[in-house]
Structure 1
Amino acid sequence: MTDRVFIIAEAGVNHDGSLDDARRMIDVAAGAGADAVKFQTFQAGQLVTRRAGKAAYQARNTGEDGGQLAMLKALELAHEDHRGLAAHAAARGIRFMSTAFDLDSLAFLAALDMPAVKIPSGDLTWGAMLLAAARLDRPLIVSTGMADLDEIRDALSVIAFGLTRTGTPAGRADLARAFADPAGQARLRERVTLLHCTTEYPAPLTAVNLRAMDVMAQTFGLPVGYSDHTLGTSVAIAAAARGATVIEKHFTLDRTRPGPDHAASLEPAELAGMIAAIRDVEIALGRPVKAPAPEELANRAIARRSLVAARPISAGELFSLDNLTAKRPADGISPMDIWPLLGQPAARAWQADEAIDA
């Protein structure tokens, strides 16, 4: 992770099972300026049963009903394919990532040079996966779609246990103690970033609730980012402005393709535009201080005012709010210093608009 927003271009399964398209997606992500390009590593038979049906958005986006197993089987890439993709990403100067959806895939990915291990929203309640991921002792990015604060706390408790203890927990009490332990909290702060997420593709704006980022950050004291499933780029850019440390966004080579995630994904030019806008936001956010920018200082004399005579003032006449006013430029007494002058006699005569110098 870096001090700036870490932008993950989520290729996911939008390669449609084509290794050539997966390579092209790496090229697109690198050209767009993303920090990492992320895929999904799974063995369909270890992910779903034959009875698992498609989510409504999956059926809608693929144009057919049926089960998840056949759909996911067609989207698998072999483990060795991922090695080749990681090498291609390194050659293009972009970090390779992939989300593991089974324990074998997690163990395989652990040998690759990834900047972080990603826990998908659907696995937030899979204790064995959380424990195994924690035991890798790598940075963890944990998506929280569909979850409430209690479920997030439960997941963090497993991770805290894995980071600070050996063996397996006997139950929730062991996990709660690991989470409450200052050592567990310290390790969570070292290793974990939470991602706010709405698990719907595309996600309607009414379901986004970016303020949940603030709640998670305040509740758990961890860095928070955003995994965006909305259409377009505005919400991801807004999340960056709101303080997201990680932005994850799906992209595709062609949004009109059939497939579960294409419809909610950015096309290449849109991805590049989003990344450029987030980088602009980073620059504009600046530092947590309020002080004039160096570029403003030269404009002070031009934009601010000095005390001047509102009309001709005779020598000995008492200064008042009627015969004093403030006009540009700021080359004399500040209008903030008018108060001690009020009721004092003028030492000499002043013409209208003449700067007051005493």
Structure 2
Amino acid sequence: MMSKEVYVIGEIGQNHNGSVDLAKLIIDLACRPVEEDLFNLQLKPMNAVKLTKRDLKQELSKSQMNAAYNSPYSFGATYGVHREVLELNDEEHFEIYKYAKAKGIDFVETLCAVGCLSLLRYFEPDYLKVASRDLTNLPLLEALAETKIPIIVSTGMAGKKELDDAITVIAKYHSNLSILHCVSQYPTHPKNVNLNTIKFLKNNYKDYRVGYSDHTIGISTPLAAVAMGAEIIEKHITIDRRMKGTDQAGSLGPDGVNRMVRDIRMLERSLGIEDIFIDSDVSGAKNKLERSIATKRLMKKGEVIKEEDLQMLSPGDGIKWADREELLGRELNCDIPADEVIYKTFVL
């Protein structure tokens, strides 16, 4: 029995570098078929991609927007100009949304200010995302919740109080909420990941779907998160980790995307149910490799079977040691060579 499918979000963020065409290429990457050759499995690719919309009038203080931005990742002399280069307008977001939907993939949008809700005149995303930094931006949360569009929140800068305050605001309008454990350190040091927070969230927020937004290097942490019960995984993706941009190097490139999605889909199949049982696909190995009661020596027809005459040998299609009473004290109806399995048909 396969476990519930994990909802995998490819976070494009600003990895489009202000280009609609580049955003579309990253969507192509998210939609690329995923295969597992050994078992000939065709696996589902990512479920969704995510973009971020900022209103630069509601982004940073004027002095910060005008501050010099001297960085190898800079697209402008000041941080404000840098952000303007990376920002896509509403119509461009709509074009990318239509491209994603045509590809059969969901579209998630992070809206970073109340002014960004103008985007909703053009389309309705499948989910609205609240970035970690805005979990305490309660006016924004109220505006997003009023739309009744399902919401995903990240907890990268939050404790329980901040999360509870956010839920209280959203719950006034609807309960279609998902909570992603997150750590706002880029990249996140292993000592700070604390995946056990997923268990805490699942135990204390049972009305909501719980997942994990990952900023670690590699794919092992999101896989571990799935094993711990995460139902949503969000990970930054790009077509080339060497491209200019602050998030490119910390994102998954094409090979990483393929490996992560493949391994998550394989892990879904691996979790199974909370029970112990003999699977039908194990019967071949069980019959071949398990051990059965066998002779230690040549035994003649008419001999009575004693425990000292017995040992355990493969194959496993005979009588097990726990059932040896079915043989002990009974008479053989034929000769049995040494080191051969004793079947029920060999005794009177």
- TM-score category of the 2 structures, normalised to the smaller one: 0.7 to 0.9
Quote the offset at 1:48 in angstroms: 1.4
State the match for 2:22 in structure 1: 21
Quote the offset at 1:122 in angstroms: 0.7
Once residues 4 and 335 of structure 1 are traced to their aligned partners in structure 2, the CA distance between those partners, rounded to angstroms, is 41
Asked if 1:42 is matched to 2:54, the reply is yes
Quote the offset at 1:110 in angstroms: 7.0
Contact conserved, 1:45 with 1:69, CA < 8 A, in 2?
no
TM-score of the superposed pair, with normalisation by structure 2: 0.82
Count of residues paired in the alignment: 325
SS at match of 1:62: coil
Q: 1:231 aligns with which of 184, 199, 217?
A: 217
Q: Rate the CA distance shift 1:72–1:323 in 2: closer, same or farther, 3 A.
A: same
State the match for 1:338 in structure 2: 324
RMSD over aligned CA atoms reads 3.0
Once residues 32 and 216 of structure 2 are traced to their aligned partners in structure 1, the CA distance between those partners, rounded to angstroms, is 22
Residues 83-122 of structure 1: pairs in structure 2 closer than 5 A: 83-109=94-120, 112-122=123-133
Partner AA of 1:284 in structure 2:
S
Residues 93-242 of structure 1: pairs in structure 2 closer than 5 A: 93-109=104-120, 112-163=123-174, 187=175, 191-221=176-206, 222-242=208-228
Once residues 216 and 5 of structure 1 are traced to their aligned partners in structure 2, the CA distance between those partners, rounded to angstroms, is 17
State the match for 1:280 in structure 2: 266
Q: Which stretch shifts more, 71-80 or 305-314? A: 305-314
State the match for 1:180 in structure 2: none
Contact conserved, 1:61 with 1:263, CA < 8 A, in 2?
no
Q: 1:347 aligns with which of 325, 328, 331?
A: 331
Q: Rate the CA distance shift 1:157–1:110 in 2: closer, same or farther, 3 A.
A: farther
SS at match of 1:231: coil
SS at match of 2:86: coil
Q: Which stretch shifts more, 291-300 or 66-75? A: 66-75
Contact conserved, 1:49 with 1:69, CA < 8 A, in 2?
no
Partner AA of 2:136 in structure 1:
T
State the match for 2:8 in structure 1: 7
* Structure 2: gaps spanning 5 or more residues: 34-44
Quote the offset at 1:13 in angstroms: 0.9
Once residues 110 and 201 of structure 1 are traced to their aligned partners in structure 2, the CA distance between those partners, rounded to angstroms, is 33
Q: Identity, % of aligned pairs?
A: 33
Q: 1:251 aligns with which of 197, 222, 237?
A: 237
Once residues 201 and 60 of structure 1 are traced to their aligned partners in structure 2, the CA distance between those partners, rounded to angstroms, is 16
Residues 63-78 of structure 1: pairs in structure 2 closer than 5 A: 68-78=79-89
Deviations 1:118-169 (A, max 9, x none): 1111111111122222222222111111222232222112222233xxxxxx
Quote the offset at 1:99 in angstroms: 0.6
